[in-house]
Structure 1
Amino acid sequence: MVDITGHRDHAMLDVAVISAVHELAAAKQTRVLSLVADAAGPLIRQRACIAGSEATPSSTTPGDLPLAVLPSLAACLDKRAPSASATSDEGDCILWMPIWIGDKADTILEIVRSDQFAADMVPMVVGIVGVYRNFQNLLDYSERDSLTGLLNRKTFDGQLSRMLQTGGAQALSAPEAPERANEAGQWLVVADIDFFKSVNDRFGHVYGDEVLILVANMLVSSFRADDRVFRFGGEEFVILLRSATGEQAHAIIERFRTNVAAHLFPQVGTVTVSLGYVQVRPGDSPVAALGHADQALYHAKTHGRNRTCHYDEIVATGQLQLPASNDTAEFF
């Protein structure tokens, strides 16, 4: 319990919980799974795994699995039951325990044993799951913006640093590689609501807050489950777009921009957003990456608004002049 509640990060909390449960249950394999919405139906995605005595790195996690292929788990979620069990084709016993927060369960704990679970073991696991649920709820509350429900600035700093350290398994290693332009990479997107101050001045802060909430909802629906969306402050939002090619990234960002432009906001009417984005690579400085995306956003703002600008593109076409390199510069 001390180890579990000592973490302030969801990923480390997942590992601490499955480590404790894995040892307690003498399990063959223990996993934390995510339930992900998809147009074709709900998907199960592995978030953390311990098989034997070793944790599986995130870069080697298996692909998504349709929930429909696990009928016992699907029935459990449909009935909002506390647990479900099944026997695998290999004869292993599987126990699933959804982490219910209200009437939603986006996280599922899976325990696999080679034989049946002892009667006195399950209540102990249930107790750990209860602590996990409560602490996960507390972490989630501390990481969210109170108005929009999006992730907050503090959470963004940590997640951007982690993305730049790992870069993703498929991140491109150099910008000068046109033959690899269709390979998946990681992207940093900055979005800003155009003329938002005039919305507050003309209609009041209540309608201004409603615009922020509706734009936040459109961000969540326009981007994918793997992407991370943050309210950066005021009317500015940041998105960490994962595993997308350049064409995919632009299409996803443009989908959000056009969704906002086509929406009629109550009382306010039409609202638009401007966006700037940049590809991020392992070893990039967080300050530099955010600065490049911000420069692209500023270019969009000063060249008509309601548009999307790619940093590398406006640099390559001479629309943005880069400052001379200064190796002695320091950021604080």
Structure 2
Amino acid sequence: MGSLLEHLVEITGHRDHDLLDISVMTALLNMVGVTEARVMELFQSRGELFVRPRVWISGGKVQTVDEESSSDHAGEPIVSFPALVTCIAQRKNRLEEAREDGRHILWIPIWQNDKVSTCLEIAHTQPFTAQMLQVMEGILSVYRNYQSLLDYSERDSLTGLLNRKTFDEKFARMLNSKQAEPASHDVEDRRHHADVKSQWLAVIDIDHFKRVNDTFGHLYGDEVLILVANILRTSFRAQDRVFRFGGEEFVVLLRSATLADAQMVFERFRSNIEQNPFPQVGQITVSIGFASISQETPVVILGHADQALYYAKDHGRNQVCYYDELLALGLLHVGKKTESVEFFFDEPTAG
């Protein structure tokens, strides 16, 4: 059993939310003997609050959504957890719940600026002792402080999504975790493997967003961005990553999905935006371009998705375009516009 100091050093050594969550779960497992626990994120969808797990302890092992990529972890309404609802409503730091099956559940919301975006659910077969609570409080105080620092550096202040600066690190990690496979430049060869799960990058742009700001003002423009961000959260799984690049542009890293599933997910998101009423503004639409995450460089992959996005916007907007399909149909050509797009994205990294 490691010492509390060793675990605190481990927690404070991270500059990444995922690793921070894993560290706090490991500390609870080793220091308190917890056999079941979850780090849960809270998010809104169409006026309702949902929760879904990011990291959890099961069978004496710490697991993450990345390891369980076959599961959607779409989330459950927070009303399914009445004790958590009570804990937050009463602004408590923790609440212990005794269940009929004999388990004791400790709910610990992580308060940041009078809001809760993360909570811990800790289960034990016996009531929590004063000593256990004291050890956990020491661990969670450090966790709470570091989560606040990471939120400040990793998150977009308006929407709460991951920011542009964080994209490079998350994308590099996805590329490193992707199993090595021969790079294929043959479009037909890729299309024959449409049933194989892969990783995908999509660039999303709100159509005519400047018109929204000019007509209704920036406050309503900001409201549109926030609502789009909320729909993005609920449209993708916990293991996917959603970023706001700035302005009205968003990027999604979609994990472990077939081409058909990727197209379905992006199309469903596009439709959800089109059908969602935006206060005062009315209807909003988005254009989406996406590409497979291959063995090519991040600059090239991002350039492919961006090129598909430009095609969508130049040909009617409010649609989803797949880079390889556009190539196969002869609607895009490698070596022309692609080169200029790649150079545009490559320049900041050179400076």
Report the TM range for the smaller structure's normalisation.
0.7 to 0.9
In structure 2, which of residues 14, 33, 40 is the aligned counterpart of residue 34 of structure 1?
A: 40
Confirm or deny that 1:22 pairs with 2:18: no
Is contact 2:54–2:64 with CA below 8 Å preserved after alignment? no
Contact 1:30 1:49 in 2 (8 A): yes
For residue 237 of structure 1, report the CA deviation from its aligned partner. 0.9
CA-to-partner distance for each residue in 1:270-295, whole Å, 9 max, x for gaps?
332211001214x4422121111101
RMSD after superposition: 4.2
Residue pair 2:39, 2:119 contacting (<8 A) in 1 also:
yes
SS at match of 1:270: coil
SS in structure 2 at match of 1:147: coil
SS of structure 2 residue aligned to 1:17: helix
Which residue of 274, 288, 292 corresponds with 2:300?
288
CA distance in structure 2 between the aligned counterparts of 1:152 and 1:99, rounded to whole angstroms: 24
Give the C-alpha shift of residue 57 in structure 1. 7.4
Preserved CA contact (<8 Å) 2:83 2:97: no
User: What amino acid is aligned across from residue 296 of structure 1 in structure 2?
Assistant: A
Task: Spell out, residue by residue over 1:55-88, the C-alpha distance to the aligned partner (whole angstroms, 9 max, x if none).
Answer: 65766459669989xxxx945424327254779x
- 2:319 aligns with 307
For residues 226-241 of structure 1, the aligned pairs below 5 Å read 226-241=239-254
Q: Residue 234 and residue 179 in structure 1: after superposition, are their counterparts in 2 closer, same or farther (change >3 A)? A: same
Select 1:276's aligned residue among 264, 289, 306: 289
SS at match of 2:273: helix
Structure 2 vs 1, CA of residues 320 and 100 (structure 1 numbering), >3 Å: closer, same or farther?
same
1:183 is the counterpart of 2:196: yes
In 2, distance between residues paired with 1:96 and 1:196? 44
SS of the aligned residue for 1:278 comes to strand
* 1:319 counterpart residue number: 331
Q: How much does 1:97 deviate?
A: 4.5
2:174 aligned residue:
163
Conservation of the 8 A alpha-carbon contact between 2:199 and 2:254: yes
Q: Is 271-280 or 242-251 further displaced after alignment? A: 242-251
Residues 254/78 of structure 1: CA separation in 2 closer, same or farther (3 Å cut): same
Q: Check 1:298–1:55 CA distance in 2 against 1; reply closer, same or farther (3 A cut).
A: same
Identify the residue that residue 132 of structure 2 maps to in structure 1. Answer: 121
C-alpha separation in 2, matches of 1:59 and 1:253: 20
Structure 2 stretches lacking a partner, 5+ long = 1-7
Q: In 1, Cα distance between the equivalents of 2:220 and 2:51? A: 36
Deviation of 1:48 (Å): 5.1
- Alignment partner for residue 47 of structure 1, among 40, 55, 69? 55
Unaligned runs of 5+ in 1: none
Report SS of the residue matched to 1:277: strand
Range moving further from structure 2, 180-189 or 290-299: 180-189
Distance 2:134 2:144 in 1: 15
Query: What's the secondary structure of 1:3's corresponding residue?
Result: helix
SS, match of residue 216 in structure 1: helix
CA offsets per residue over residues 273-323 of structure 1, 9 Å max, x none? 211001214x44221211111011011122222221001111111111111
* In structure 2, distance between residues paired with 1:44 and 1:267: 31
- Whole-angstrom CA distance in 2 between matches of 1:161 and 1:216: 23
In 1, Cα distance between equivalents of 2:38 and 2:179: 20
- Which secondary structure does the structure 1 equivalent of 2:23 belong to? helix
Decide whether the 8 Å contact of 1:172 with 1:185 is kept in 2.
no
- Residue type at the aligned position of 2:166: T
2:211 is aligned, of 192, 195, 198, to 198
Residue 165 of structure 1 aligns to a residue whose secondary structure is: helix
CA separation in 1, counterparts of 2:222 and 2:64? 40
TM-superposed deviation, 1:156:
2.0
Post-superposition CA distance 1:202-228 (Å, at most 9, x none) = 433233323322322332333344432
**Aligned-residue identity in percent:** 44
Query: Structure 2: how far apart are the matches of 1:267 and 1:77?
Result: 34
Q: 1:94 to 1:297 in 2, by over 3 A?
A: same
How many residues are matched? 318
**Aligned-residue offset at 1:148:** 2.1
